[in-house]
Structure 1
């Protein structure tokens, strides 16, 4: 299965796209990970939104992309998520490849910083990210900062 990838600023998202991305984020970050937190954090408006859609238009993968100085001093990628029922297709790996490429297209080649869940450290290392600094707890989940040069 292949996905169609689109990147849009917040203002260009349709209501259906916005609903789908908020629904997917809630499904994974709140329900699946059993973490009550404020997902709608006021940063969506400043982000570019990368959506991976199936041929039927279902949202299979998503991330938000920030230019330097918005989330961190560096370019950053956040809210990286793949739909649970479609994970067996490797969309998470494709999503990260696309997110990195899209950051370079939008902001030029420069370092990218992420706040990653600790259990995904090896996954992000496979894309050239390296841990920077100590770990921290975010909403009760162990995280680390990672940077890709």
Structure 2
């Protein structure tokens, strides 16, 4: 949660009530993360498995750890754990990055927490994106 608050609330200015929505506490939510040697979380994402299709969100990487492929590694792990249809609400500027993992746009851009987003769907299978 500390990493997500640092990225989404402090860096991106999202209101913390939106970020802290309680979904992390549901039994149907899976959290994925990576830690450095000091035990600090460097990247994270969550999977809301009670959605149809499954929804991946809250993908975040610590500022000091960006550009190392950590978010991609977590995304591949989540897609292996949930090989069926998966939906994301991607920040629009990341559409091409998510496309590397097999996600395709479904619909127009929209605003979420004051940031342009786009719904994307991956129907099945794995990707070789790095």
TM bin (shorter chain): 0.7 to 0.9
Runs of 4+ in 1 over 6 A off after TM superposition: none
Give the TM-score normalised by the residue count of structure 2.
0.85
Q: Is the 8 A contact 1:37 1:139 kept in 2?
A: no
Give the TM-score normalised by the residue count of structure 1.
0.75
Q: Report matched runs for 1:48-67 at 5 Å.
A: 48-67=30-49
Matched, 1:44 2:24: yes
Q: Which residue of 2 aligns with 1:121?
A: 95
Aligned equivalents of 1:140 and 1:83: distance in 2? Answer: 21
Q: Which residue of 2 aligns with 1:88?
A: 67
Q: Report matched runs for 1:105-144 at 5 Å.
A: 109-144=83-118
Q: Is the 8 A contact 2:5 2:16 kept in 1?
A: no
Q: Is the 8 A contact 2:36 2:42 kept in 1?
A: yes
What does the per-residue CA deviation read over 1:36-88, in whole Å, with 9 as the maximum and x for residues that have no partner? 24211021112111111122211011111121xx3x32011110111111113
For residue 148 of structure 1, report the CA deviation from its aligned partner: 0.2
Aligned equivalents of 1:25 and 1:144: distance in 2? Answer: 20
Note the residue ranges of structure 1 that are not aligned, 5 or more in a row: 1-21, 104-108
Question: What root-mean-square deviation, in Å, do the aligned CA atoms of Structure 1 and Structure 2 show?
Answer: 1.3
Q: Is the 8 A contact 2:30 2:47 kept in 1?
A: yes
Note the residue ranges of structure 2 that are not aligned, 5 or more in a row: 124-130
Instruction: Report the number of matched residues.
Output: 120
What does the per-residue CA deviation read over 1:25-45, in whole Å, with 9 as the maximum and x for residues that have no partner? 111001111222421102111
